[in-house]
Structure 1
Amino acid sequence: MTEREIDITDDLLPKLLPAKQPNDTNQMINSLSFSTKGEHMIMSTDDDSMYLYDMKTGQRSRSVNSKKYGCSHVRFASDALCALHGSTKIDNTIRYLSLTDNKYIRYFQGHDGLVTGLNVSPLDDMFLSVAKDKTIRLWDLKTYNCIGLMNLAATPIATFDPEGLLFAAGLDNNTVKLYDLRSFDKGPFSSFGPLQNDEGLEWTSMKFSPCGKYILICTNGSVLILIDAFSGAVKHALRDHYNNTKVALSASFTPESAYVMVGSSDGFIYFYNVETGQVAYKVQSPGGQTCHITEFSPVHFLAATADKVLTLWCGSDDLKG
């Protein structure tokens, strides 16, 4: 599989079809992510396991157990064969794991509440963590102690921009603030909000579009908020999908930033056109299940959806052998 050479269009979306359903687990999948170059994918499950996949074949290449500490929010570190994950048992330590020899490289301690999000810089060895202790912490993979700490009034969300030069923080479920990494201790250089939140929804995660122009805010309701990353104006409130059980739906941009992909409790996967805010395409998920996680490869015409079943979607025969 080579790097993406074509832009995804409305006509191309129907060619994205279920290609593989690895039967490695029957437990709820709580996170998954692709490596920067799309060569690998990793996921974590509620039975304290992590699975690494080779995306050239769609096959599991190794598995790791974290029975003592639990695992969630697994993310590749700067090296695609190393990963960070949150802990769900004993303590709230973030663990840095070598997937090559299944050994922990470093532990990052400091959070007093459950880690609710991890985001790794695309530029260097820094990463962000957010937690129920109402803090954002900035870390460097090479040192044990956090290099930045923000105490807030409520559980925040946060993400790096695609260039790794700044990060966005979602605060109080209504405000977005932008921080320059070189001087974040001086406060935000831009603030948007309060944004309208009449339904009182909880903001659960956020992502920059790959082009850097937009920020997508996921919620525990049936709405995704797409804002302009420069002006803070709400570009669209995406509302055609359903979230009847109020789970934290994790949505994703396609690689060229033209579409947002999200699961729905009606058993479909929805693709919204970023420019129009309209549904460009929807397709039934295998078994009609709610896929609470949808993640598009950063470079390939390939996606993953997950609940208790992992489904790999592909627009070619690359994964169908």
Structure 2
Amino acid sequence: MNASKELEVNAEVLPKLVPAKQPTDTTAKVNCLTFSLKGDHMIMSTDDDSIFLYDINTGIRSRNVNSKKYGCSHVKFASDAMCALHGSTKIDNTIRYLSLTDNKYIRYFQGHDKLVTGINVSPLDDMFLSVAEDRTIRLWDLKTHNCIGLMNLTATPIATFDPEGLLFAAGLDNNTIKLYDLRSFDKGPFSSFGPLDNEDGVEWTAMRFSPCGKYILICTNSDQLFLVDAFSGAIRYVLQDHQNVKKVPITASFTPESSFVMVGSSDGYVYFYDVETGLVAHRAPAPNNELCHITEFNPQHFVAATADSKLTLWCGTEDFKAQAHQ
């Protein structure tokens, strides 16, 4: 795919991002995908208990791991891009730490007694967060089996690290955001926002900081995304031009310089919202004319991935890539 590096993503170049490759490695529904921090690899997990690793420079699968016994979901790269974490969907709720080099498990993280609903890895060190239907947030270190922090809550939470890995945000009760300093999170949040305006029945399903750290994006099971100011806690915009007819959890993402939010829609398009205005800056036809319930922009390259029952890799058109390398 010859991914172009360090390109500024603006409204003029967004139309040049087009579907470039649709691997046929699986037809099962994709339940998670993510890029490595350096952007050269992508990993995804599917509902047929498989994990796939892709080389972004070629767009070709480089590894395939089956987890038929335990199932797999919420796969994420660990601090080393040749290792991954994933949740289990069968037998138990253990989080498994996998070497992608030799397809062997390095460590097991046990503690959740209900389904894990999210895993978020620190961009700074070997720590990661997990959230689950047991209404807990657990903080872990890859080097030890036991969790190093535990928060018991009143409902299933969502959580994410900030881009520097110094704090994390927790989304609670579908209307409140709390910020915790990792050095003293046991003392409680240093900041709390909410309750934020939220329509009845809109469930918060995931959250992420913008790469610049100024915004928090709340993903939901509705046709709304909430763009929140990370410093004041005010809802900057409710992004709602896209559609989500079946009310499935949608995963949206920021472009690398935090200028746009990319999200799929059940009207057969992929939308790009301008973070500064909250308006649609561009929309592109989605592959298969289906809702891409997962959209993920590469953190380093002008490359993105979308997924429904099929994975699609997007990159800049040939003329744009040629200009970028001049």
- TM-score range for the pair, normalised by the shorter chain length: over 0.9
- Aligned partner of 2:118 in structure 1 is 117
- Aligned partner of 1:217 in structure 2 is 218
Residue type of the partner of 1:287?
N
The aligned runs of 1:176-215 (5 Å cut-off) are 176-215=177-216
| Partner deviation per Cα, 1:161-206 (whole Å, 9 max, x = no partner) | 0000000000000000000000000000000000011233110000
- Aligned partner of 2:77 in structure 1 is 76
- Aligned partner of 1:105 in structure 2 is 106
- Between stretches 111-120 and 198-207, larger displacement belongs to 198-207
- Aligned partner of 1:137 in structure 2 is 138
Counterpart-to-counterpart distance in 2, 1:210 and 1:63: 29
Residue type of the partner of 1:69?
Y
The aligned runs of 1:138-153 (5 Å cut-off) are 138-153=139-154
Counterpart-to-counterpart distance in 2, 1:167 and 1:35: 19
**Unmatched runs of 5 consecutive residues or more in structure 2:** 322-326
| Alpha-carbon shift at residue 287 of structure 1 (Å) | 1.7
Counterpart-to-counterpart distance in 2, 1:97 and 1:316: 35
Is 2:287 the counterpart of 1:258?
no
| TM-score where L is the length of structure 1 | 0.98
Partner SS, residue 128 of structure 1: strand
| Alpha-carbon shift at residue 7 of structure 1 (Å) | 1.1
| Alpha-carbon shift at residue 4 of structure 1 (Å) | 3.1
Number of aligned residues: 319
**Unmatched runs of 5 consecutive residues or more in structure 1:** none
Q: Assess if the C-alpha contact under 8 Å between 2:7 and 2:301 holds in 1.
A: no
Partner SS, residue 291 of structure 1: coil
| Alpha-carbon shift at residue 317 of structure 1 (Å) | 4.1
The aligned runs of 1:265-284 (5 Å cut-off) are 265-284=266-285
| Alpha-carbon shift at residue 261 of structure 1 (Å) | 0.2
| Alpha-carbon shift at residue 159 of structure 1 (Å) | 0.1
| Alpha-carbon shift at residue 128 of structure 1 (Å) | 0.1
The two structures, once aligned, show a CA RMSD in angstroms of: 1.2
| Alpha-carbon shift at residue 307 of structure 1 (Å) | 0.6
Q: Assess if the C-alpha contact under 8 Å between 2:3 and 2:315 holds in 1.
A: no
Counterpart-to-counterpart distance in 2, 1:172 and 1:236: 20
Counterpart-to-counterpart distance in 2, 1:87 and 1:273: 36
| Alpha-carbon shift at residue 286 of structure 1 (Å) | 1.3
Q: Assess if the C-alpha contact under 8 Å between 2:3 and 2:303 holds in 1.
A: no
The aligned runs of 1:273-312 (5 Å cut-off) are 273-312=274-313
| Alpha-carbon shift at residue 316 of structure 1 (Å) | 4.0
Residue type of the partner of 2:238?
A
- Aligned partner of 2:232 in structure 1 is 231
Identity %: 75
| Partner deviation per Cα, 1:44-99 (whole Å, 9 max, x = no partner) | 00000000000010000010000000000000000000000000000000000000
- Aligned partner of 1:154 in structure 2 is 155
Q: Assess if the C-alpha contact under 8 Å between 2:3 and 2:56 holds in 1.
A: no
Counterpart-to-counterpart distance in 2, 1:99 and 1:41: 12
| TM-score where L is the length of structure 2 | 0.96
